[in-house]
A and B are shown apart, each in its own frame.
Chain A
Amino acid sequence: DTGVSQNPRHKITKRGQNVTFRCDPISEHNRLYWYRQTLGQGPEFLTYFQNEAQLEKSRLLSDRFSAERPKGSFSTLEIQRTEQGDSAMYLCASSFEYGEAFFGQGTRLTVV
């Protein structure tokens, strides 16, 4: 296992389109997190899963954002009706229940 993998690395989309990002965590990890990072800022928590259960989603930025982890392995983050303000780096991380989170390389979203 080479770590947390995110796809795509870069995504350019037109305003109003829907986008979906994928995260493959470290296989032994039962927790998976999504963060958003804008320039000059630290990562901002969005949501997390323990196995397939989404245990915290109140920090999702709007109802246009949703995440799934249907089988407790990979996860997807979808943004519907994208806006220019959604342009950011979207980071995924995974961990054991109590332990450090390991991050992927992120997906850079640009909304034009």
Chain B
Amino acid sequence: GESVGLHLPTLSVQEGDNSIINCAYSNSASDYFIWYKQESGKGPQFIIDIRSNMDKRQGQRVTVLLNKTVKHLSLQIAATQPGDSAVYFCAELLNAGNMLTFGGGTRLMVKP
């Protein structure tokens, strides 16, 4: 399959370790944020979302943290597995619009 994001920032972690992927968003008016995972040759897959009235949300093995003061999102993956290897994108949605705007993405590589 085709590689997505050949020149993206890369985070390399050992299997079993925790991963933290960071994202800076651009618009202070954004009120909804989503993390997507994209594997080679596939479309983005929804992981977790958070609204601006929250600062933390947990899912299965994933946690998203939102810091509105510095316009920063992070995705934490616990006990990273080889199947987590992919490109991760954060996306923001402006209340006044209906257009998800994506960040540049981070490639996560999990070493066995």
Contacts and interface: CB of A to CB of B under 8 A. Distances in A.
A100 B36 CA distance: 10
Interface in B17-53: 34, 36, 41-46, 49
Interface residues of A, number: 27
A100 B99 CA distance: 11
Given A56-B97, A108-B2, A42 B102 contact: yes
A99 B7 CA distance: 30
Interface magnitude class on chain B: 20 to 34
Given A40-B8, A103-B43, A103-B44, A55 B102 contact: no
A102 interface: yes
Contact of A105 (B6, B8, B42): B42
Given A91-B44, A106-B43, A39 B6 contact: yes
A41 to B, nearest CB: 7
Given A40-B5, A40-B6, A100-B34, A55 B98 contact: yes
Interface of B: 2-8, 34, 36, 41-46, 49, 89, 91, 97-105
